[in-house]
A and B are shown apart, each in its own frame.
Chain A
Amino acid sequence: MPKNKDKAVNTVSLLELFTTFFKIGAFSFGGGYAMLPVIAREISEQRSWVKKEELQDVFAITGCLPGAIALNAAAFTGYITRGVGGMIIAVCGNLLPSVVVVIALCTAVALVRDNPVVEAAFLGIRPAVVALIAYAAFNMAKGSLKDGFAFTLCLVALAVAIFVPAVGVVPIVLLGGLAGLAGQKVKRMKLKGRSEA
């Protein structure tokens, strides 16, 4: 049983918001979508700050918005429980463990970087990072490339990135958004035309 079930939503304390998102930030690895189940457990199952039906909305909003997905989820939960102040507290709590751990790891790596063993370790890690990024791409492709047009857009974006690097990645992403808008519009017009004929 969630222990705070009868608690009115506006009585969530700022301290509790901070500690909850600090905990989520400290103990969830893999970022983004990998963090969402942890967030769901903390804010809905254990604390009922967000009703189960509303969770879908939280995750829909956080996936659509730019920026770190987990951070968006923290901001949104902070907002619906304690307004703008809650949003700031939740976001800061969520990011604080990252700051501490990244500083510690980067500093440690910088100290031992010239050691030949560490160098060899990083020669092994770099290909693993390439694989991690490629896997993230495949994973996302599996979820979002559901028809031929989406698949074509993806290949065109990849080709432009490789062969016309002067375009830059950001314009490709933005043009992708426009192409999606145009493509779907054409598709709908075709469907409409067919149903009228």
Chain B
Amino acid sequence: MSFELLMVFLKLSLLGFGGGYAIIPLVMDEVEAHNWASADKMADTVAIAAMSPGPVAANVAIGLGLLLNGLPGIIAAFAGTTIPCVVVVWAVAAFFKKASSHPVVQDILYGLKSVIPGIIFFAALKMGMQNNMFLASKPITTGWDVIIGSSHFDGKSVIIIGIIMVMLTKTKVHPILLIIASAVAGILMF
């Protein structure tokens, strides 16, 4: 189990361009493929990662490692996150200045940075559907369920999503405060 976790985190650390939230869709994909955790547990892990200090991508890995396999899971997550980071930075630090301005590198980064927002948005959509917030009165198995699935909306969840989105874009209120506020809202509403 821990070896599998280690391999997955090694892979994600090498492929997770964009850091932080860009890694969440990749993690969700792996968790689903290995049938590691339910959608609500996954969402809660991301919530804890977002509330904890430090790099969010690493926090998600650590939280998932703990959830799936206790202390060995954490060690696997720690190693899987730090080893690629150290090796990659070591490898490129020496010639980075030259490499980063190379047109081929720039063009690839342009492509990566273009698709990553789409993938992250997909992760948000999927997390919302899997937790029955919208468009999912039946389980989401294929993408088509987004369109042909019944148009179920959980009003309370959608209201919270809307308010938090407005707060994030229009104010500078700290995300942690928003998470705490939404917990209070949850206690009052559900």
Q: Which residues of A contact B (CB under 8 A)?
A: 25-33, 35, 57, 60-72, 75-76, 79-80, 84, 87-88, 91-92, 94-95, 97-99, 101-103, 105-106, 109, 117, 119-138, 140-141, 143-145, 149-151, 153-158, 161-165, 168-170, 172-181, 183-185
Task: Tell me the complex Cα distance, A157–B55, Å.
Answer: 25
Q: Is the CB of A66 within 8 A of B157?
A: no
Inter-chain contacts of A71 with B (CB < 8 A)? 55, 57-58, 81-82, 85
Inter-chain contacts of A76 with B (CB < 8 A)? 89, 93
Q: Is the CB of A185 within 8 A of B89?
A: no
Contact of A130 among B92, B127, B189 (CB under 8 A): B127
Contact of B29 among A109, A156, A170 (CB under 8 A): A170
Inter-chain contacts of A150 with B (CB < 8 A)? 110, 113-114
Inter-chain contacts of A175 with B (CB < 8 A)? 115
Within 21-63 of B, Cβ neighbours of A (below 8 Å) are at 21-26, 28-29, 40, 43-59, 62-63
A93 CB to nearest chain B CB (Å): 11
Main secondary structure of the interface of B (DSSP, over half): helix
Q: Is the CB of A137 within 8 A of B117?
A: yes
Q: Is the CB of B179 within 8 A of A174?
A: no
Within 77-107 of B, Cβ neighbours of A (below 8 Å) are at 78, 81-82, 84-86, 88-90, 92-93, 96-97, 100, 103-107
Inter-chain contacts of B110 with A (CB < 8 A)? 144, 150, 180, 183-184
Total cross-chain contacts (CB, 8 A): 398
A68 and B20 in contact (CB under 8 A), knowing A31-B57, A133-B127, A165-B142? yes
Does B1 belong to the interface (CB within 8 Å)? no
Nearest 9 Cβ contacts at the A-B interface? A180-B111, A124-B186, A31-B56, A176-B115, A32-B20, A69-B19, A98-B54, A136-B21, A68-B55
Inter-chain contacts of B122 with A (CB < 8 A)? 157-158, 161-162, 169
A interface footprint on B70-81 (CB within 8 Å = 1, 0 otherwise): 000010001001
B105's nearest neighbour on chain A, judged by CB, is A64
Can you list 11 A-B contacts (CB < 8 A)?
Answer: A67-B13, A68-B81, A80-B93, A119-B190, A128-B164, A131-B162, A132-B46, A137-B123, A157-B114, A176-B116, A180-B112
A158 CB to nearest chain B CB (Å): 4
A28's nearest neighbour on chain B, judged by CB, is B53
Q: Is the CB of B186 within 8 A of A125?
A: yes
Inter-chain contacts of A99 with B (CB < 8 A)? 62, 74, 78
Q: Is the CB of A29 within 8 A of B176?
A: yes
Q: Is the CB of B133 within 8 A of A67?
A: no
Task: Tell me the complex Cα distance, A28–B21, Å.
Answer: 16
A181 and B111 in contact (CB under 8 A), knowing A75-B85, A173-B15? yes
A170's nearest neighbour on chain B, judged by CB, is B15
Q: Is the CB of A126 within 8 A of B44?
A: yes
Task: Tell me the complex Cα distance, A31–B168, Å.
Answer: 15
Q: Is the CB of B114 within 8 A of A131?
A: no
Q: Is the CB of B85 within 8 A of A131?
A: no
From A33, A97, A161, name the one whose CB has the most chain B CB atoms within 10 angstroms.
A161
Contact of A138 among B103, B109, B169, B174 (CB under 8 A): B169
Q: Is the CB of A67 within 8 A of B57?
A: yes
A162 and B168 in contact (CB under 8 A), knowing A64-B100, A128-B160, A130-B133? no
Inter-chain contacts of A173 with B (CB < 8 A)? 15, 17, 26, 112, 115-116, 119
Inter-chain contacts of A172 with B (CB < 8 A)? 115, 119
Inter-chain contacts of A158 with B (CB < 8 A)? 118-119, 121-122
Q: Is the CB of B85 within 8 A of A32?
A: no
